[in-house]
């Protein structure tokens, strides 16, 4: 039981660290037009920490509720795909300064979370339930991302 907890905690910390390093909330981001309902910048770190902590807990629950290698493989693949999709959004939005490209990546992230929920539900209903805030937050973030694109487009065009 200890090894799955250590692995889940380590991967979560790694994902949070990568996300933090790839999120440059500098002048470019501050100057974007954002809707009035945009959360304050300080809220994103705690929100992601809670959400990814719940996802790690879901992973541990699912992993420890089965001893079938094929189910462990499925859990690993689902989380691996999700981690890749999760890690792609910040560099697209912040580093490349392309909220439009980040918005095109959101459906893949959203589907990877839905895949996790559907894939973990037969193993542990609590694990699937623990992923609901992740899906809700990414749904909210997608609407926010869309609104930022709508308010600020076009991106990638030379400044005149």
pLDDT recorded at residue 4: 77
Domain assignment present for residue 82? The answer is yes
Task: Print the domain residue range for 148.
Answer: 2-33+45-152
- Distance CA(139)–CA(78), nearest Å, equals 19
Domain assignment present for residue 120? The answer is yes
Domain assignment present for residue 160? The answer is no
Domain assignment present for residue 114? The answer is yes
Number of domains the chain is built from: 1
* Structure confidence by residue, pLDDT tens digits, 1-32: 688 788 888 888 888 888 777 777 789 999 99
CA proximity to 113, closest of 137, 144, 147? 137
pTM of the predicted model over 0.95: no
CATH number of the domain that residue 17 is part of: 1.20.1260.100
Domain assignment present for residue 80? The answer is yes
């Amino acid at each position: 039981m200890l090894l799955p907890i250590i692995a889940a905690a380590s991967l979560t910390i790694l994902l949070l660290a990568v996300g933090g390093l790839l999120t440059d909330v500098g002048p470019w981001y501050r100057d974007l037009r954002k809707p009035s309902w945009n959360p304050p910048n300080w809220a994103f770190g705690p929100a992601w920490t809670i959400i990814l902590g719940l996802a790690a807990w879901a992973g541990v629950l699912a992993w420890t509720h089965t001893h079938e290698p094929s189910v462990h493989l499925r859990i690993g693949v689902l989380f691996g795909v999700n981690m890749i999709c999760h890690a792609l959004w910040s560099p697209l939005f912040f580093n490349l300064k392309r909220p439009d490209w980040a918005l095109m990546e959101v459906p893949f992230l959203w589907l990877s979370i839905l895949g996790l929920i559907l894939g973990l539900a037969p193993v542990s209903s609590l694990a699937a339930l623990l992923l609901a805030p992740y899906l809700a937050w990414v749904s909210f973030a997608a609407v926010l991302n869309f609104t930022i694109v709508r308010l600020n487009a076009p991106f990638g065009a030379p400044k005149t």
